[in-house]
Amino acid sequence: MRSLRLLRVMTWNVWWRFGERWEERQEGIAATLERLDADIIGLQESWATREESQAAALAERLGLQSQWAGPSLPDLPDEPESPDHEGVDLGLAILSRWPILDSWTRTLPSSRDVAPVALVAVIDHPLGPLRVVCTCAEHHAHLADDHVAQTRELAALVLELAALESPLPVVLIGDLNAPPDGPELAPLLEVMTDAWTAAERAPDEGVTLSSEHPDAPLGAVKQLDRRIDYVLVRPSAGGRAPEVRSASVVAETVEGLHPSDHFAVVADLAV
């Protein structure tokens, strides 16, 4: 049992029901989450139907609380590519060791027909309210203006949440689809701390979307072989900045199968 002062946070794009072996990947996702034993987990490209959600199934297995919301990116095909895709939504999820007191979505600026959202949750942590944002930002290079507008909106959201009193920080977890030195990420890095660099890891290390992955999206030249998935933190009013004890990328396979096309990021915060 970790001390309440040590908070393990994880973010992972879990690749919806893409790929021919999506059902087999579910066990790998669950087994990885079980092993890492994070307190707060943000999932992107998480699936849900009218009857069930990936988040609820994982939460039940892991003994966690969950919240799912959409729409999120990427857009799904107008026509299902497989019977397993029919009626299945794509969105964001937050899993928590402690009860989720409240949750809502914030619409992000977009020129798409359907604008994506960020999912916000207020966690009933024993030390005080813990406010968490899970998101997935624009990925298309030709929508770079949307991308910057979205990270500006996320930065504004974080500042709003951080203005509320709590001994615990605001945490943003997500697939931001940009490297740390990209102009798209600048609005967020102006107001938040990147857990990776705070843990004294090299900014250009920690690739989370690798071209060597067997399911790599080779058309995503803007994101490939870069760190595009993040744990970001900002102290709340009346609180102190968390100390980032460690940060790592989780890239292993489970029984020879990659659970996702992205690698996960895990950070340990002393709060």
**What are the tens digits of pLDDT across the range 34-82?**
999 999 999 999 999 999 999 999 999 999 999 999 999 998 887 888 8
pTM over 0.95: yes
Task: Residue 124: count other Cβ atoms within 10 Å of its Cβ.
Answer: 14
CA distance 248 to 84: 33
**What are the tens digits of pLDDT across the range 237-265?**
999 999 999 999 999 899 999 999 999 99
The owner of tokens 């944002």 is 133
Which pLDDT does position 46 carry in this prediction? 98
Q: What percent of the chain has pLDDT over 90?
A: 92
**What are the tens digits of pLDDT across the range 46-59?**
999 999 999 999 99
CA distance 67 to 119: 9
**What are the tens digits of pLDDT across the range 188-243?**
999 999 999 999 998 778 999 999 999 999 999 899 999 999 999 999 999 999 99
Query: 54-62 and 22-36 are packed helices; what angle lies between their axes, rounded to 10 degrees?
Result: 40
Cite the beta strand spans of the chain per DSSP E: 6-13, 40-48, 65-69, 89-96, 100-107, 117-125, 128-136, 170-175, 193-194, 229-234, 243-250, 264-270
Average pLDDT over residues 97-113: 98
CA distance 84 to 135: 24
**Residue 1 above 70 pLDDT?**
no
Contacts of 182 (CB under 8 A, 6+ apart): none
